[in-house]
Structure 1
Amino acid sequence: MEGTRGGRVAQAAGRAADSKSFERAARMGYVASGLLHALIGLIALQIAGGGGGDADSSGAVAALADQPGGIFLIWACFLGCLALALFQATRVFLDSGEDRKEVWKKRASDAGSAVVYGAIGVSFGVFALGGSSDSEQSQVTWTGRVLSQPAGQWLVGLAGAVIAGIGIYFIFKGVTRRFRNDLKAVPGRTWQRTATTTGIAGFVAKGVSLLILGVLVIAAAVTADPEKSTGLDGALRALHEAPLGWLVLGAVGVGLIFYGLYMALIRARFGKL
């Protein structure tokens, strides 16, 4: 009897340890997302200063791959994003017994997160396996394929409106500090200030970039020209071409670096899973 009970305790302890290990691996996905956004922010600053580079996921990962030991970090980021995407996907099937509306709201959120981190993982995975990609050209290609379908312009326009809406939500989430709802209790005044500063600046900058990206996708739908749907790099370059665009782009670049710091330092450590 005691032996059976001891075996059950050991199994429970083993499952708890495995769960903790999986959770730590999943949190690496937040670090990977943070690193990606920080690199995009740095490239945006280079563009604002008259330099070059592709300010999107493929350009950021390519820049990381060129660094000494970068391939090992890329593999770590790929595995972390994969773990986080799987973790979020498994939560879609959980039923907490709460109000049905809240349950489905959480499921939609978890499913969306799984897709987002899965896509980020693909960006790292392609380079980890020795390949390369062009985010801008991929978006132009897919936009062209959708535009060629019946009601394609409406579908692309709807996608652009959704992206712009997400951008507006990010700005709202940053200004109202609602990103704190994603975090557990943050201990210490220094950590709390860091969370607030990086969160506000980061979410607003991320929102601005998504809003511009959505507008470009809508423009591609209205004109039936897939070349206008140029991805994040095109959105940031369009911002650079506006009056005082170099200044605004520089601010967005700094904000994206802050968003990267928020994800890597705050969300990865204090985020709710």
Structure 2
Amino acid sequence: MQAPEEAHEALEKGARLGYGARGLVYLIVGSFALLAALGRGGTTDTQGALRTLLSQPFGKILLALVALGLLAHALWRLLMAVRNPEGRHVAARAGYLGSFLGNMALALFAGSLALPGMIGRPGGSGGSGDWTAMLMSQPFGQWLVGAAGAVAIGVGVAFAVVAVRASFERQLDERACHPAIRTICRAGILSRGVVAALVGGFLIIAAWQADPAEAKGLAAALAALRQQPYGPWLLGAVALGLVAFAFYSLVAARYRRIQTRA
């Protein structure tokens, strides 16, 4: 039986709120990375961005709204994967399922910060090394970590393809299809792909060397960029790209066509 109209409207609003929440998180991540490129601080990841929100005035209220948005966004992604209202291929549906898991984990983390004691312990999510060590302790653990790294690289390549083809525009209202908006969004999506591929590469190194310490999350991957030749310039370019990805998320929050019916 089809869900009531109100449920579809609530899910659409939640999906848009989730895009806005993601935009806010990546704006903070990109800003920290840009400051690090200028030698004025360190990098952070999405969890660090949420902790930064917590330290602001009315931080718990803001975090609760972000958690709600990410939760609603996760549920919409799950709907996209299971019911496939856009008629996408299997790989795209698998990507939506991965997005569901990522958004759900981040929503729970935000909730644990906003409502300590009610949703797990505050900030109870471990770093990449923690879950990598856990996986490696399992049978075929190195293969599992290596597979996770390959998936992350695949996600990065998928982001790059979307950026080059500008295929995201097919999902946007025509009012958002402006050359300047297209350019910024493409840069943002490409930068997000670069970061995903970097994280995947570190996971494969960790699997190859059987050393969980080699696994690096978003913050460490960005910090590693700064250690390369012309590192501050590379990090600065990726940082601006992540700010552009935040801009794309905000554009999607306003102009993406949200499908909730199969």
Instruction: State TM-score, norm by structure 2.
Output: 0.87
Separation in structure 2 between the aligned mates of residue 97 and residue 250 of structure 1, nearest angstrom: 36
Deviations 1:44-99 (A, max 9, x none): 1121122334420121111111111222221111111111212232344437697x
Kindly state the Cα deviation for residue 18 of structure 1 after the two structures are TM-superposed. 4.1
**Correspondence for 1:174 among 163, 167, 180:** 163
Give 2:202's aligned amino acid.
L
Q: Which residues of structure 2 form unaligned runs of 5+?
A: none
**Residue number in structure 1 paired with 2:123:** 133
**Residue number in structure 1 paired with 2:191:** 205
Once structures 1 and 2 are overlaid, which stretch shifts more, 111-120 or 138-147? 111-120
Change (3 A) 1:37 1:153: same
**Correspondence for 1:239 among 201, 204, 225:** 225
Give 1:249's aligned amino acid.
L
Separation in structure 2 between the aligned mates of residue 54 and residue 177 of structure 1, nearest angstrom: 29
Q: Does 1:68 align with 2:53?
A: no
Give 1:186's aligned amino acid.
E
**Residue number in structure 2 paired with 1:120:** 106
Separation in structure 1 between the aligned mates of residue 58 and residue 257 of structure 2, nearest angstrom: 31
Give 1:122's aligned amino acid.
L
Separation in structure 2 between the aligned mates of residue 56 and residue 97 of structure 1, nearest angstrom: 31
> Which aligned pairs between 1:96-175 and structure 2 lie closer than 5 A?
102=88, 104=90, 107-130=93-116, 132-133=122-123, 137-175=126-164
The 8 Å contact of residues 43 and 222 in structure 2, kept in 1 or not, is answered as no
Q: Which has the larger radius of gyration?
A: 1
Change (3 A) 1:126 1:195: farther
The 8 Å contact of residues 47 and 106 in structure 2, kept in 1 or not, is answered as no
- Report SS of the residue matched to 1:187: helix
Give 2:145's aligned amino acid.
V
**Residue number in structure 2 paired with 1:271:** 256
Change (3 A) 1:211 1:203: same
Q: How many residues align?
A: 253
The 8 Å contact of residues 43 and 223 in structure 2, kept in 1 or not, is answered as no
Separation in structure 2 between the aligned mates of residue 74 and residue 127 of structure 1, nearest angstrom: 7
Change (3 A) 1:120 1:181: farther
The CA RMSD over aligned residues, in Å, is: 2.5
Kindly state the Cα deviation for residue 127 of structure 1 after the two structures are TM-superposed. 1.4
**Residue number in structure 1 paired with 2:48:** 59
Separation in structure 2 between the aligned mates of residue 97 and residue 187 of structure 1, nearest angstrom: 20
Q: Which residues of structure 1 form unaligned runs of 5+?
A: 1-11
Change (3 A) 1:48 1:95: closer
**Correspondence for 2:36 among 13, 37, 47:** 47
Instruction: State TM-score, norm by structure 1.
Output: 0.84
**Correspondence for 2:71 among 74, 79, 82:** 82
The 8 Å contact of residues 213 and 232 in structure 1, kept in 2 or not, is answered as yes
Separation in structure 2 between the aligned mates of residue 93 and residue 161 of structure 1, nearest angstrom: 24
**Residue number in structure 2 paired with 1:20:** 9
Kindly state the Cα deviation for residue 15 of structure 1 after the two structures are TM-superposed. 3.3
Q: Does 1:187 align with 2:171?
A: no
| Identical counterparts, % of pairs | 35
**Residue number in structure 1 paired with 2:20:** 31
Give 2:216's aligned amino acid.
T
Change (3 A) 1:115 1:182: farther
Deviations 1:173-232 (A, max 9, x none): 11221222332x3216xx623430221110111111111111111111111110111211
Deviations 1:3-22 (A, max 9, x none): xxxxxxxxx9x932442233
The 8 Å contact of residues 213 and 235 in structure 1, kept in 2 or not, is answered as yes
Separation in structure 2 between the aligned mates of residue 53 and residue 132 of structure 1, nearest angstrom: 22
